[in-house]
Amino acid sequence: MIESILKLIIQIMITLLIAPLFTGVIRKMKAKVQHRVGASVFQPYFDLTKLFKKDLVVSGTASWIYNLAPYVYFITALAAMCCLPVVYGLTGFSFYTDLLVVVYLFVGGRIFMALAALDTGSTFGGMGSSREMLVSALVEPALFIVIITISARTEIASTNIADIYKYMAVNTGTAFTPMNILLFASTLLILIAETSRIPVDDPATHLELTMVHEAMILEYSGRHLAFIELGTYIKQLVFMTIMANILIPAGFDNSNFILGFGIYLLKLLVITVLVGLVELNTVKFRLYSIPNFAVIALVISILGFFTGFILR
């Protein structure tokens, strides 16, 4: 019991420590390509500390949902992260973890955010939450097919992460099977859509015609905003961890903690670079083109499903 609580604490600390880093890396990468110096890789950390120091401004018409939502959003993301294995032998909630739980935790956080955005009655909030829900609904089928395929690969067809985890421990050599690669590609697209990155959403602009996620959190400030931002970073980390540890399990079965952690970080960096490359090579889609994007993710995941079942 003590041991698992200790593990939980370690995992939470790791999560909080590394989550904002990757957004910084993507920003730096974009800046370099555009021949700018760009902010430091650690800029997201500075932003977060600054936001935590600032005062809150809360609308007079806001109800308790508005005040609660950032915490729910943050906590659900953190809980989702604790479900996942980071390094061999380290899982926060080792007693019960399930991939579907991860998805539902995200849905819970998202519902609170959407409600909170509606709560203040501003026009942007409503627009943002409706768009955010649209995007999430569009990529949901692809996400579920990915999860089904991953779980169906284990012998007892379980979505329990512990089972998947056991399966991985003996099958780390199968890192580049066609199924893994297809699911990886699909999850990359899902990650882009879910964490509001270009081409689905542009986190850097506040243009009323294009913004999705930013419109939803436009009213927030100070500590609340910091929690939301941190929640988004963690969410990004969750998807990256799924990609790094479940879809490409190469190098995962390393009993040396430091080495395992190094490999994990390296894989995360590779994924970050991939996301950055996608961002650099595309322009933001119109809202009506997002279904096309989601369909690509869906089709690739279906292909992964087929190859996974037929060619194993």
Partner 1 sequence: MYHNMLNLLSILMLISAFSLIANKRQNSYISTFRFQSALLAGISLLVSVRAMIVTKAFDEVLIMFMLIVVFKVVVIPRYMKSTAERVEYKVEKDFFINIPMSMIICCGLVVLSWYVIYNIDGITDLDTKNYLIYSFSVVLLGLFFMISRKKAIGQIIGFLVIENGMFLAAMLTTEGMPMIVELGLFFDLLTAFIIMGIFVFKINSTFESIDINKLKNLKG
Q: Which of 71, 144, 261, 306 binds partner 1 (CB under 8 A)?
A: 306
37 binds partner 1 (CB under 8 A): no
The answer to whether the CB of 211 falls within 8 A of the CB of 201 is: yes
Query: Which one, 102 or 243, has the nearer CB to partner 1?
Result: 243
Compute the least distance from the CB of residue 160 to partner 1, in Å.
27
Query: Which one, 63 or 292, has the nearer CB to partner 1?
Result: 292
Q: Report d(CA 244, CA 187) in Å as an integer.
A: 11
1 binds partner 1 (CB under 8 A): no
292 binds partner 1 (CB under 8 A): yes
Q: Report d(CA 294, CA 228) in Å as an integer.
A: 25
Query: Which one, 272 or 307, has the nearer CB to partner 1?
Result: 307
191 binds partner 1 (CB under 8 A): no
Window 161-180: contact mask with partner 1 (x via CB under 8 A): --------------xxxx--
Binding range to partner 1, per CB under 8 A, among 65-73, 200-208, 219-227, 288-296: 288-296
Q: Report d(CA 208, CA 24) in Å as an integer.
A: 25
Query: Which one, 37 or 310, has the nearer CB to partner 1?
Result: 310
Question: DSSP letter at 174?
Answer: G
Q: Which of 181, 269, 270, 287 binds partner 1 (CB under 8 A)?
A: 181
Question: DSSP letter at 60?
Answer: T
303 binds partner 1 (CB under 8 A): yes
Query: Which one, 138 or 237, has the nearer CB to partner 1?
Result: 138
Considering CB under 8 A, how many residues would be counted as binding partner 1? Answer: 20
Compute the least distance from the CB of residue 301 to partner 1, in Å.
10
The answer to whether the CB of 312 falls within 8 A of the CB of 179 is: yes
**What is the gyration radius of the CA atoms in the chain, in angstroms?**
19
Cα dihedral value 48, 53, 54, 56, nearest 10:
100
User: Per DSSP, which regions of 169-270 are E strands?
Assistant: none
290 binds partner 1 (CB under 8 A): no
What is the pairing mode between strands 85-87 and 90-91? antiparallel
Query: What φ, ψ does residue 86 adopt, rounded to 5°?
Result: -100, -55
288 binds partner 1 (CB under 8 A): no
Compute the least distance from the CB of residue 281 to partner 1, in Å.
9
What the block records as the tokens of 261 is: 């952690």
What the block records as the tokens of 24 is: 């910084």
The answer for 157, left when phi > 0, alpha when psi is -120 to 50, beta otherwise, is: left
Question: DSSP letter at 173?
Answer: G
Which residues within the stretch 38-77 sit at the binding site for partner 1 (CB under 8 A)? Answer: none
Give Cα separations from 284 to 70, 212, 266, 279, 298 (angstroms): 27, 12, 28, 9, 20
2 binds partner 1 (CB under 8 A): no
Q: Which of 26, 114, 116, 185 binds partner 1 (CB under 8 A)?
A: 185
Binding site for partner 1 (CB under 8 A): 175-178, 181-182, 185, 291-292, 295-296, 298-300, 302-303, 306-307, 310-311
